[in-house]
Structure 1
Amino acid sequence: MESVRDPELPGRLLRTERDVLVPLLRARPDEDFALRTCCPGWTVRHVLAHCGAALMRVVEGRFEEGVFSPESNDRDIAERAEWSNSRVVDELERGMTEAGPVIAKAEHGLLDGIALGEWVHAGDVREAFGEPGAYAGEGLGYALELLAGLTRARRTMPLLARLDGRDGPIVLGADSPDPATYTGAAPTLIRLLAGRPLTGTRYELTGANEKELVFFG
């Protein structure tokens, strides 16, 4: 199946998530920014600092060698160590507002995955806060559409996803007459492909194991 890219989709996802996440963050006390997330070694603040830094790199076109490596991410977080939590959120809000048009212009959708990663990290934060529907919400439809396009473009393991409450399956990954199949909730599919904890979820997976389907993490 030929993958047709919608260049505006990453920006729509980022802006939709911005309008939900930023008010939530501004309403939380400072101590909540020290809560641990599912990202090893990272607190809520670390995740938000990483997300804001990544988006501002996109906005400003700063892609030096090794950017987005674990070492680069750690440096970005360390550079913001003396910032107030409010300033960290300010940068994130700006990045989620301004990065979309830059991502849209990138050749071959090179930066599209950044928008999806930001949305998943927002879910990581919501989960650390104990918010319901961590990997759901208003951006889920956009996230699934972007995920489908990215996995098809990168020809990952073929997967036919039959999602609860949705008409028709979603096709992920490379073309195949015999794809693996997933049946379950859409947020659980996001957890599965993002390598997030699956404790307490229910789903059926045939033709593949969980590790084979991790697309990013």
Structure 2
Amino acid sequence: MLRLEEIGEFSVITARDPERPGRLLLAERETLLPMLRRTPESHFDRPTSCPDWTVREVLAHCGAALVRIVEGRLPGFTPENNAADVRERRDWPLGRVLDELERGMIEAGPVIAAAEGELDVIALGEWVHAGDVREALGRPGAYESVGMDDALALLSTVSRERSTPRVHASTPIGGMVFGNVVEGRAPARLEADPGTVIRMYCGRPADPARYRLSGATDRELVIYG
């Protein structure tokens, strides 16, 4: 059960929901995969916000990472292994890349649930990569897809694990707390829409007109270096 610690109008998530990562993956299976299967193959060569990776390569990485989890081939999420996984799939038919991704989205959730939080960050990363793909394909609300509540909840936890500073974030859907208390330093304040919060914490381009941050720098918030 989700437990919240209230700090004024802000909420800190204090308990893990083991089903949350799987819900995120299944949400993308129901929304992203059908869209991708309707997309012209030439569009998969478009660049993404991930340096040097096209849409196809991001999807290949996502599928490979999930299948690593399903098959118990861990640890394996180094930049070198990720690049090797993408190279291995370079000559695959696009349909095979999408089929592997769909398999991973279906089968990885229970494995992540049983991992006691060690792999939750991977599910969040998969959801964010789905946003990278949507943005590259010109879809609106790229980082505001189904599963936003679960994504923000995971982000709250991961932001503490990655030792980002304490931030009180005000959004149109409520206040949340990210990061850790730093001795001698007051919590930073962030006003932004949820999609912009995701962008900022995950190192994606964010329109400065869509947020107001005080007491911290943008760079201090990033959880994926």
**TM-score bracket for this pair, using the shorter chain length:** over 0.9
Paired AA for residue 194 in structure 2? A
Superposed displacement of residue 32, structure 1: 0.7
Superposed displacement of residue 153, structure 1: 4.3
Higher relative strand content: 2
Paired AA for residue 159 in structure 2? T
Contact 1:3–1:153 (CA under 8 A) maintained in structure 2:
no
Note the alpha carbon deviations across 1:138-163, whole angstroms, 9 max, x for none: 11111001111222345431111101
> Hey, what does 2:195 align to over in structure 1?
187
Superposed displacement of residue 175, structure 1: 3.6
Partner residue of 2:55 out of 40, 44, 61: 44
Note the alpha carbon deviations across 1:91-150, whole angstroms, 9 max, x for none: 00010111000000013x000000000000000000000000000021111100111122
SS in 2 for 1:132: coil
Q: Percent of aligned pairs with the same residue?
A: 54
Q: Which runs of 4+ in 1 moved over 4 A?
A: none
TM, length-normalised to structure 2? 0.90
> Hey, what does 1:166 align to over in structure 2?
173
Structure 2: segments with no counterpart, 5+ residues: 6-12
Structure 1: segments with no counterpart, 5+ residues: none
> Hey, what does 1:59 align to over in structure 2?
70
SS in 1 for 2:200: helix
TM, length-normalised to structure 1? 0.93
Paired with 1:94 and 1:151, the residues of 2 have a C-alpha distance of 28
SS in 2 for 1:208: coil
Paired with 1:151 and 1:40, the residues of 2 have a C-alpha distance of 23
Aligned residues: 212
Paired with 1:85 and 1:200, the residues of 2 have a C-alpha distance of 36
CA-atom RMSD in angstroms: 1.6
Matched, 1:125 2:136: no
